[in-house]
Amino acid sequence: MCFADKTGSNSFIWLMSDNMHHQWLLLAACFWVIFMFMVASKFITLTFKDPDGYGAKQEPLILTAVTKVEEVHVPEEKHWPEEFQPTGKAFSGNLIRQPLVHMERLELLRNVCRDTALRNLSHTAVSKFVLDRIFVCDKHKILFCQTPKVGNTQWKKVLIVLNGIYSAVEEIPENIVHDHEKNGLPRLSSFSDSEIKKRLSLYFKFFIVRDPFERLISAFKDKFVHNPRFEPWYRHEIAPGIIRKYRKNRTETKGLQFEDFVRYLGDPNHRWLDVQFGDHIIHWVTYVELCAPCEITYSVIGHHETLEDDAPYILKAAGIDHLVSYPTIPPGITVYNRTKVERYFSGISKRDIRRLYARFEGDFKLFGYREPDFLLN
C-alpha cells in the first residue's frame, strides 16, 4: 500500500515536471518567433524607409546627361574640361545646364537640316565664299566662322591673342582687327583642299548667331546710318544701287531707308545686286550662306543673347580658357530689344516683311528663333 502510494507520487511529480518542460519549450519557441519577427521588421524598415534616400539614385541620371556632351562633334585632339566629365560627384545646376543647352541647339540644327521642306533655306555649298568666312588658329586647332553684327570683332581679338600676335585683347588696335593682312588670322580658303578637309574634320569649330531681324537692323545702322569705320562705299555705291531699284517714291531724295533695305533683301531676285556688291554683303546675308551649318559639323553654336554664359563655355570647350578671356560685355548690350525691332518694322508692309521672313526662315528655324509676333497679327 505504502509502496503503491510512493509510486503514484513519483509518477505525478514526473508528469508535472514533463508538463513544465513542455511549457518552457513552448515559451522559448514563442520568444524565438517574436525575436525573429523583430529582426525581420528592423531589416525591412532599414531597407525601405525614407523615399528621399533614392536621391542618390538620381546621380547616374545626371552623369548620363553630362556624358552625352561627348556625342557633340568635338575634334579628337580636344577634350571637354574636367568639370564636364563624370566624377561621381553632384554637379551644380549651371554646369549641367550649359552642356545640355548646347546639345539641344545642335540637335535642333540637325533636325532642321533633315527637314526636306526647308532644304533650299538650310543648305548651301561649302564654297570659297564660305571658306573665306572661317578663320583658323592652327596653334590651338580652332576654326571660327565670322557672322558679322553679332560681336565678331571680340572673337577675332581672342584668336589674334591665341595666335601670339598680341599678348592680351586690350593691346590690339581696332584698325588691326579687321586688317586681314596684319591681324595674323589666316582664312580656311588659303589652304589646300586636303588641308581644308583635315581642319574641318579635326578642329574645334564654332560661330555665333542672334535674332535674324535684329541683326539686319544692326547691319543697316552700322553701314548706312552711322558708318563708324568710315566705309564710304556703303553710302555712295551700295545705297544708291538699292534705292534705284527698290524705292517706290523716286522723287524722294533721302538716303537709304530701312524700307528700301527690306525690299532689297526680300526680293527673290536679289542676287544680281549681291554680285555687284561683292563681299560687302556678308553683313546681311543669312547664317546659312555664311557658315554652311548643315554641311559643316560645328562643335558649338553660341547665341548673342546669352553671350555672358556662352563665351566662357566656348573658351572652356575649346580648352583655351586658361590662355585668354573674352572681353568684358557691357551690361544689357546682348539683350534682345523687341521694342526696337517692332519700331523699325512698324512702317514696313506685311507683304515686304513676309518676303523678308521667307528668305531668312532657315536662320529662324535652324537656331530656334521665334517668328516675329508682328507677322502673326
Confidence of residue 52 (pLDDT cuts 50, 70, 90): very low
pLDDT of 42 reads 40
pLDDT of 373 reads 87
More confident site: 308 or 96? 308
At a CB cut-off of 8 Å and minimum separation 6, what does 156 contact? 135, 144, 146, 177, 178, 183, 185
Q: Sign of the C-alpha dihedral, residues 332, 80, 72, 140?
A: positive
**HSE value, Cβ hemisphere, 13 Å, CA-based, for 217:** 17
Strand 300-303 to strand 134-137: parallel, antiparallel, or no bridges (unpaired)? unpaired
pLDDT of 159 reads 96
In this predicted structure, which of 83-97, 150-164, 315-329 has the lowest mean pLDDT?
83-97
Q: What integer is the mean pLDDT of 72-95?
A: 37
pLDDT of 230 reads 79
In this predicted structure, which of 30-44, 119-133, 210-224 has the lowest mean pLDDT?
30-44
pLDDT digits (tens, 9 = 90+) for 281-297: 999 999 999 999 999 99
Whole-model pTM: value is 0.74
298-360-148 Cα angle (round to 5): 60
In this predicted structure, which of 60-74, 114-128, 162-176 has the lowest mean pLDDT?
60-74
pLDDT digits (tens, 9 = 90+) for 95-140: 456 789 999 999 999 999 999 999 999 999 999 999 999 999 999 9
Question: Would the pLDDT of 229 be above 60?
Answer: yes
CA distance 132 to 36: 80
pLDDT of 175 reads 86
pLDDT of 295 reads 98
Smallest CA-to-CA distance from 157 within 133, 143, 174 is with 174
C-alpha cell at 208: 555665333
Amino acid identity for residue 188 in this structure? L
Task: Compute CA 137 distance to the chain's CA centroid, rounded to the nearest angstrom.
Answer: 21
In this predicted structure, which of 43-47, 86-90, 107-111 has the lowest mean pLDDT?
86-90
Question: Would the pLDDT of 238 be above 90?
Answer: yes
pLDDT digits (tens, 9 = 90+) for 179-209: 888 898 999 999 999 999 999 999 999 999 9
pLDDT of 69 reads 31
More confident site: 209 or 75? 209
pLDDT of 38 reads 52
Question: Would the pLDDT of 215 be above 80?
Answer: yes
Extents of the domains making up the chain: 95-375
